[in-house]
């Protein structure tokens, strides 16, 4: 095992973490601010991917597709909030889960209806094709590095938005006392729509970027959603910082587990068994990590912090 | 025309009726005291004015406009600034952020609020949950003033505060009164409240039972409506 391979796998883990962060950031914001469990958040990720793939195919430009994915996901999110989700804030979590699960079915079938069951494919834009040399030999895809870069920029941007702007203050105030912030003249309903659309746009951005790495198809959102829930539970529900740390942790643990566990087990077991047991263990690893973290920090790593 | 005028307001918490007919007026530039024993409907009256409880009957006019039934934020935007019972500062925001979070208009600025409450000026960067009760009350008042309200409403202006701090709060309210600020205030300490008030209203079991100058609220009436 060379150092280059190890670095490559670490970067892959980081890139997966960044994707998860983009999805989890919206999910945790929506849960933290509105108290809403939105199972349909994965569908917004799917909508972003389809919008990008379809528009890029029609216009020949990945970048126009990327802009379209942001717009489509934000618009779908705002529409979803105004028409359906707004009625769920006062209800209990079971009602929210039921209603947003229905949204998954509706959006998945709607997408299948428009685009069919065959997956769409999206090419990496020419600007980001190619590879970058890694220290110790080996190469790394420029596009994946760009995803990591986008994730870092979004994380910084969100941090500044939440901690430095009037909108961020209102979001944090609404987290603790929404009746009071309304009684001071702040239109909390519009604020909620904005937060929801923002979270949706980030999920759409993640979907668009991942669309160039894997096929774009109905049902792509749910596996991502499950991982995003693991991320926000680890990070502490409502915490953006927690979402970032949790996402990078899950991304790296998952990727490195799949890479290293079979190799470690091969030291003690025959090769074929080591691969099988290693793969099985690796797929459980993030849940084991989550259980261990919750055993010591039942509310997650950064519960109660911005 | 009164700045604020409530006529025959009735309100419910779920199925149980809390207000049975509240009448109340506040004129421009006036300090009005709203009194009554615990559970007689003072906080419900204030919640009804601000739209946090929707009145089932009666009218509420502010600056000539019917506000009953509007959402809270629209009512507040008409020019009502609430200092709620229990202060309800945003604990996860700094003092400065608490003051800025809902700021509107230009008469009141950070500098003017910290001029009124110098202790807040020394603590602008602190989180609100690190403040003492008195400082939190100053912050809640400052936060409401930053919305440039035509009417400042205080529910329990000095409840649970040390006597020295209470004097600070009353001194600040007197300064506001001199500056022409209209105020509707609830407080339990009559000896401190009555000298500041231009007029008083007393509620009993959700109904207005007294309206008049503080002098007209005789010892006998105080005993009947406000004694323990």
Q: Is residue A17 part of a domain?
A: yes
Does B84 contact A180 at a Cβ distance shorter than 8 Å?
yes
Does B93 contact A179 at a Cβ distance shorter than 8 Å?
no
The predicted structure's pLDDT at residue B195: 93
Does A177 contact B88 at a Cβ distance shorter than 8 Å?
yes
Mean pLDDT of B7-13: 94
- As a whole number of angstroms, the distance between CA A223 and CA A286 comes to 14
ipTM of the complex: 0.91
Intervals of chain A under pLDDT 50 = 305-306
Q: Which of B51, B85, B91, B102 to mutate to test the interface with A (most CBs of A within 10 A)?
A: B102
Which residues of chain A lie closer than 8 angstroms to B93, CB-CB? Answer: 169, 172-173
Q: Is residue A260 part of a domain?
A: no
For residue A156, what are the domain limits?
A: 3-218
Q: Please say if the pLDDT value at position B113 is more than 60.
A: yes
Q: Which of A166, A176, A184 to mutate to test the interface with B (most CBs of B within 10 A)?
A: A184
The DSSP line for A239-261 is -HHHHHHHHHHHHHHHHHHHHHH
* Residue B13: strand pairing partners: B16
- As a whole number of angstroms, the distance between CA A210 and CA A251 comes to 14
Q: Is residue A305 part of a domain?
A: no
The predicted structure's pLDDT at residue A272: 85
Which residues of chain B lie closer than 8 angstroms to A176, CB-CB? Answer: 90-92
**Residue among A169, A173, A185 minimizing CB distance to B73:** A185
Does B82 contact A175 at a Cβ distance shorter than 8 Å?
no
The predicted structure's pLDDT at residue A306: 45
Structure tokens at A242: 């927690």
Does A183 contact B92 at a Cβ distance shorter than 8 Å?
no
Does B93 contact A184 at a Cβ distance shorter than 8 Å?
no
The DSSP line for chain A is --HHHHHHHHHHHHHHHHHHHHHHHHHHHHHHHH----TTHHHHHHHHHHHHHHHHHHHS-HHHHHHHHHHHHHHHHHHHHHHTGGGGTTS-HHHHHHHHHHHHHHHHHHHHHHH-SSPB--PPPGGG-SEEEPTTS-EEEHHHHHHHHHHHHHHHHHHHHHHHSHHHHHHHHHHH-HHHHHHTT--HHHHHHHHHHHHHHHHHHHHHHHTTTS-B-TT-HHHHHHHHHHHHHHH-TT-HHHHHHHHHHHHHHHHHHHHHHHHHHTTTS-HHHHHHHHHHHHHHHHHHHHHHHHHH-TT-TTTT--
To the nearest whole Å, the CA of A193 is away from the closest chain B CA by: 16
If one counts the domains in chain A, the total is 1
- As a whole number of angstroms, the distance between CA A73 and CA A201 comes to 5
**Residue among B51, B73, B81 minimizing CB distance to A188:** B73
Chain A residues within 8 A (CB-CB) of chain B? 166, 169-170, 172-173, 175-177, 179-189, 306
pLDDT in tens, B140-179: 999 999 999 999 999 999 999 999 999 999 999 999 999 9
Q: Taken in order A245, A248, A250, A252, is the CA torsion positive or negative? A: negative
Does B76 contact A306 at a Cβ distance shorter than 8 Å?
no
The predicted structure's pLDDT at residue A1: 60
pLDDT in tens, A134-161: 877 788 999 999 999 999 999 999 999 9
Structure tokens at A259: 């890479």
Percent helix, strand, coil in chain B, to 5, is 35, 25, 40
How many CB atoms are closer than 10 A to CB A133? 10
- As a whole number of angstroms, the distance between CA A23 and CA A41 comes to 8
pLDDT in tens, B14-44: 888 999 999 999 999 999 999 998 889 999 9
- Nearest residue of chain A to residue B96 (CA atoms): A169
The predicted structure's pLDDT at residue B105: 87
To the nearest whole Å, the CA of B198 is away from the closest chain A CA by: 26
Does B101 contact A181 at a Cβ distance shorter than 8 Å?
yes
**Residue among A166, A170, A176 minimizing CB distance to B91:** A176
Nearest to B22 by CA among B214, B53, B30: B53
Q: Taken in order B37, B43, B44, B48, is the CA torsion positive or negative? A: positive
Does B102 contact A187 at a Cβ distance shorter than 8 Å?
no
**Residue among A172, A180, A189 minimizing CB distance to B88:** A180
Which residues of chain A lie closer than 8 angstroms to B73, CB-CB? Answer: 182-188
Does B92 contact A185 at a Cβ distance shorter than 8 Å?
no
Q: Which of A178, A185, A303 to mutate to test the interface with B (most CBs of B within 10 A)?
A: A185
Which residues of chain B lie closer than 8 angstroms to A166, CB-CB? Answer: 100-101
Q: Please say if the pLDDT value at position B219 is more than 90.
A: no
Which residues of chain B lie closer than 8 angstroms to A186, CB-CB? Answer: 73, 101-102
The predicted structure's pLDDT at residue B14: 82
Does A179 contact B97 at a Cβ distance shorter than 8 Å?
no
Does A183 contact B100 at a Cβ distance shorter than 8 Å?
no
pTM for this prediction: 0.87
- As a whole number of angstroms, the distance between CA A87 and CA A203 comes to 22
**B208 touches B22 (CB < 8 A):** yes
Domains of chain B: 1-78+189-221 (3.40.50.300)
- Nearest residue of chain B to residue A164 (CA atoms): B97
Mean pLDDT of B80-84: 96
The predicted structure's pLDDT at residue A269: 87
Does B93 contact A169 at a Cβ distance shorter than 8 Å?
yes
To the nearest whole Å, the CA of B123 is away from the closest chain A CA by: 18
Q: Which of A33, A182, A183 to mutate to test the interface with B (most CBs of B within 10 A)?
A: A183
Q: Is residue A108 part of a domain?
A: yes
pLDDT-based confidence at residue B228 (cuts at 50, 70, 90):
low
Q: Is residue A302 part of a domain?
A: no
Chain A with chain B: Cβ pairs closer than 8 A: 64
Which residues of chain A lie closer than 8 angstroms to B48, CB-CB? Answer: none
């Amino acid at each position: 095992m060379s150092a280059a391979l190890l670095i490559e796998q670490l970067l892959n883990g980081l890139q997966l973490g960044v994707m998860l962060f983009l999805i989890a950031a919206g999910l945790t914001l929506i849960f933290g601010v509105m108290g809403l469990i939105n199972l349909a958040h994965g569908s917004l990720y799917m909508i972003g991917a389809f919008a990008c793939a379809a528009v890029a195919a029609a216009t020949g430009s990945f970048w126009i597709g990327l802009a379209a994915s942001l717009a489509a996901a934000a618009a779908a999110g705002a529409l979803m909030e105004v028409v359906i989700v707004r009625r769920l804030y006062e209800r209990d979590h079971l009602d929210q889960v039921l209603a947003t699960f229905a949204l998954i079915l509706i959006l998945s079938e709607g997408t299948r209806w428009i685009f069919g069951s065959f997956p769409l494919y999206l090419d990496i834009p020419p600007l980001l094709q190619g590879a970058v040399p890694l220290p110790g030999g080996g190469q790394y895809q420029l596009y994946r590095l760009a995803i990591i870069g986008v994730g870092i920029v979004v994380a910084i941007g969100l941090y500044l938005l939440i901690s430095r702007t009037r909108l961020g203050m209102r979001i944090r105030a609404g987290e603790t006392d929404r009746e009071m912030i309304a009684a001071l003249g702040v239109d909390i309903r519009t604020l909620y729509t904005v937060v929801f659309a923002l979270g949706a746009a980030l999920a759409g951005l993640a979907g668009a970027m991942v669309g160039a790495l894997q096929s774009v198809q109905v049902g792509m959102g749910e596996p991502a959603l499950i991982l995003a829930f693991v991320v926000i539970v680890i990070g502490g529900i409502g915490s953006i910082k927690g979402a970032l740390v949790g996402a990078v942790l899950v991304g790296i643990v998952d990727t490195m587990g799949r890479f290293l566990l079979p190799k470690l087990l091969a030291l003690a077991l025959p090769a074929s068994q080591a691969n099988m047991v290693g793969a099985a263990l690796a797929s459980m690893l993030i849940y084991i990590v989550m259980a261990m973290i919750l055993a010591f920090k039942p509310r997650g790593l950064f519960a109660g912090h911005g | 025309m009164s700045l604020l005028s409530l006529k025959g307001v009735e309100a419910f918490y779920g199925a149980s009726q809390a207000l049975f007919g509240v009448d109340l007026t506040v004129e421009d530039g006036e300090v009005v005291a709203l009194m009554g024993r615990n559970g007689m409907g003072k906080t419900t009256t204030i919640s009804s004015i601000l739209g946090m409880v929707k009145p089932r009957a009666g009218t509420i006019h502010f600056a000539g406009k019917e506000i009953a039934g509007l959402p809270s934020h629209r009512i507040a935007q008409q020019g009502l600034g609430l200092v709620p019972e229990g202060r309800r500062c945003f604990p996860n925001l700094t003092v400065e952020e608490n003051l800025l979070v809902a700021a509107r208009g230009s008469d009141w600025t950070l500098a003017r609020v910290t001029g009124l409450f110098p202790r807040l000026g020394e603590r602008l960067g602190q989180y609100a949950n690190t403040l003492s009760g008195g400082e939190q009350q100053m912050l809640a008042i400052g936060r409401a003033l930053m919305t440039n309200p035509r009417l400042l409403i205080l529910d329990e202006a000095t409840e649970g505060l040390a006597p020295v701090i209470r004097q600070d709060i009353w001194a600040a309210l007197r300064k506001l009164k001199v500056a022409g600020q209209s105020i509707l205030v609830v407080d339990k300490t009559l000896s401190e409240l009555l000298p500041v008030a231009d007029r008083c209203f007393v509620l009993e079991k959700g109904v207005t039972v007294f309206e008049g100058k503080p002098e007209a609220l005789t010892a006998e009436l105080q005993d009947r409506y406000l004694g323990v």
